[in-house]
Structure 1
Amino acid sequence: MARNEQLIRQHKILQILERLRFGATLEELRDSVVEELGLTSLHPRSIRRDLEALTAAGLPISDEETQRGRIWKLSRSDKGLQKIAITASELIALSMGRDLMLPLVGTQFWIGIESFWNKVGDQLPEAVWEHYERYRRTLYVLGLPTKTYEKHQGILKTVNRAIQEHRHLEMTYQVPGRAASVRTIEPYGVVLFQSSIYVVSTEESRDGVGSERIRHWKLDRFTSAKALDSWFKPNQQIDIQSHLGQSVGIFSGANSKQYVIRLSAQAARWVQEDPWHAEQEIVEEADGKVLLKVTAYHDTEIIQRVLRLGSEAEILTPESCRQEIAATVQELTTRYASPPQL
């Protein structure tokens, strides 16, 4: 059993126990997990091991003998699962993280963020809150786009259900400038990238094996989504975290490519201040310029960044990317060679 499947199963057990006031037996938990995750079978011993893992992690799960047999329950209190002590510094850090999550407004993720934030506020001593308010007036988070996913809340709930239960997802997808199409995908997870949400999935109609079948779908372009009554078995060869770490952006592809860009000394400092990728490589040259080596799935991810640097950057390889930039520069030269048509 892959670790991510164990985590999904354990999270489902928590969800089930949260809504059952009087707990459940191993067999009842097993039946609920099988039904809600769309599994074909599951042994009660697996449920017991999951419960032991959750208890070892500190979650207040207890068991007791009843007329129904031994049942497992999640302890409750008016203050939630845990009572958390928080300092003013920790509150400031938490509030900054909350600001960065503003694109999630209207989704179930934001509802959870706001619920926790309100609970923290209710429990804080007045002096800590006043210190936070004074300090927060000197600290601002800017640069976030003014977008939310409130209108996609229902679609995102459906997507998350399909991910957790390994259900096929039927969606209507509308790319700007193209006709809408209906696609059936096998969703693995969601990614928040530069304030936009993407669904990472495989697609039955896409050729290839393992990560070669992965595609990224922008949530903004979903017009509808439906979790089908059919299930897929997650591919054990697919490592989403590793896949996402192979590129500077969010484009998907069969194989990543290495790009080599020559940067001026000034541009090199900019790229060192704001790295393109965690594993980028910078090689200094004798004349003060540097070679930047990064990986990406699509030329567009690199072209956009190179063009922002203007004459301070030059693509060396691959040749396809170099030719595309040359064509873009030629078109711009022609366009700006004459006065604008007003």
Structure 2
Amino acid sequence: MDRYERILSLHRILKTARYPVTVARLREELECSRATVYRDLAFLRDALMAPVVGDGEAGFRYDAEEAGRFELPGLWLNSDELHALLAAQQLLARSGGGVLSSALAPLQARIEKLLDEHSAGKRWPVERVRVIPHRGRRMDEQAFRTVCSAVLQRRQLAFDYRARSTDEKTRRTVSPQRVTHYRDNWYLDAWDHDREGLRSFSVDRISAARVLDATARDLDEAELDRQLAGSYGIFSGPARGVATIVFSAKAARWVADEHWHSQQQGRHLPDGRYELKVPFSASRELLMDVLHYGADAEIVDPPALREQAKSLLQLALSNYER
């Protein structure tokens, strides 16, 4: 353990200790000699102004009144945290289609500087962290930043919106509630003032966005979750039913570990198959995910949803009968 990590570990030990910590324990925790423990304690107290009290016989700790207020100056990370930060930095840099690139450029530069300082000239193999965006859509960075500003400033927002389902362009005035990242894409949950209801908007379909002076109407978090997270998918609405899907024993090895919905119920069947129950309102997104599993998934209930899946499969099959 190098000195940087020893100082960080020593700080964390003393900050969380309820009783004085002996030098013997510090030697064991820091993997160093008795003399090194005393040097590090002196550096922590004299150079970093830590509230270290105690002695070699009774042990050391932070002064109880000062411990809660004291933190190491600057940003201190151990190797594991630094490696995790490096992975997160690569995730930011390589995902999202570059929509956050310019806004986060100063932060990324500071992260890279921190990595360089800690590596002592050693090159970090960033290519070992692989990020593969999946079906992310192109998005206007300025529109995204305007949407986020309106959400955080709690101001109303006006924008042009072209619905993907109808390709119709409309002008909307909304009270933004929150932004949601879902399946590599961003959505805005908002109260639509013209339609007097909650709506979810795909941010990549928003243009000419402008933050207004008017204060946004705030909706209770519980109401937002009831309306927008109560059933399956991003454009869910209140749940109108529960779908029961049975997966083959082979697919069960994947599905049993997957999160489909916050209120899902799953169980292994005696023959090795897996039964999953999820609340849903609109069926389109749920059907898409079930059909992704092909012959390894079967919708058992409700009958109407089962018939929808059957019709879609028949239509798909007809494409191959020419």
**Fold conserved (TM > 0.5)?**
yes
Task: Report if the CA contact (8 A) 1:214-1:252 is conserved.
Answer: no
1:182 equivalent to 2:171? Answer yes
2:314 match: secondary structure: helix
1:74-129 deviations in Å (ceiling 9; x for gaps)? xxxxxxx961122343233123223333444655x544543223213324455626
Q: Note the 1:261-340 alignment, pairs <5 A.
A: 261-338=245-322
CA distance in 1, matches of 2:236, 2:263: 18
Q: Note the 1:214-253 alignment, pairs <5 A.
A: 214-236=198-220, 238-240=222-224, 245-253=229-237
Corresponding residue for residue 194 of structure 1: 183
CA distance in 2, matches of 1:237, 1:306: 30
Q: Note the 1:1-342 alignment, pairs <5 A.
A: 83-101=74-92, 102-104=94-96, 107=99, 109-111=100-102, 113-124=104-115, 128=119, 133-134=124-125, 136-145=126-135, 149=139, 152-176=140-164, 177-206=166-195, 213-236=197-220, 238-240=222-224, 245-255=229-239, 257-338=241-322
CA distance in 1, matches of 2:120, 2:232: 39
Range with bigger deviation, 266-275 or 301-310 = 266-275
CA distance in 2, matches of 1:99, 1:172: 33
1:133 match: secondary structure: coil
Unaligned runs of 5+ in 2: 1-67
Task: Report if the CA contact (8 A) 1:103-1:147 is conserved.
Answer: no
1:143-173 deviations in Å (ceiling 9; x for gaps)? 4456553xx2322233233323433322211
- The code of the aligned residue for 2:176 comes to P
- The code of the aligned residue for 2:208 comes to S
Name the CA shift for 1:83/1:248 in 2 (closer, same or farther; >3 Å). Answer: farther
Range with bigger deviation, 215-224 or 255-264 = 255-264
1:59-85 deviations in Å (ceiling 9; x for gaps)? 99xxxxxxxxxxxxxxxxxxxx96112
1:311 match: secondary structure: helix
> By how many angstroms is 1:278 displaced?
4.8
Task: Report if the CA contact (8 A) 1:262-1:315 is conserved.
Answer: yes
| Residue correspondences, number | 253
CA distance in 2, matches of 1:256, 1:82: 54
CA distance in 2, matches of 1:235, 1:241: 10
Task: Report if the CA contact (8 A) 2:290-2:297 is conserved.
Answer: yes
- The code of the aligned residue for 1:114 comes to A
Task: Report if the CA contact (8 A) 1:92-1:132 is conserved.
Answer: no
CA distance in 2, matches of 1:59, 1:319: 62
CA distance in 1, matches of 2:272, 2:201: 41
CA distance in 2, matches of 1:146, 1:123: 30
1:289-314 deviations in Å (ceiling 9; x for gaps)? 22111233421121011111111111
TM-score by length of structure 2 reads: 0.67
CA distance in 1, matches of 2:70, 2:154: 26
CA distance in 2, matches of 1:285, 1:301: 25
CA distance in 1, matches of 2:123, 2:77: 11
Task: Report if the CA contact (8 A) 2:95-2:133 is conserved.
Answer: no
CA distance in 1, matches of 2:172, 2:304: 30
Q: Percent identity?
A: 25
1:189-218 deviations in Å (ceiling 9; x for gaps)? 1111122111111213446xxxxx322100
Higher radius of gyration, 1 or 2: 2
> By how many angstroms is 1:230 displaced?
3.0
TM-score by length of structure 1 reads: 0.63
Please tell me the root mean square deviation across aligned C-alpha atoms, in Å: 3.2
> By how many angstroms is 1:132 displaced?
6.1
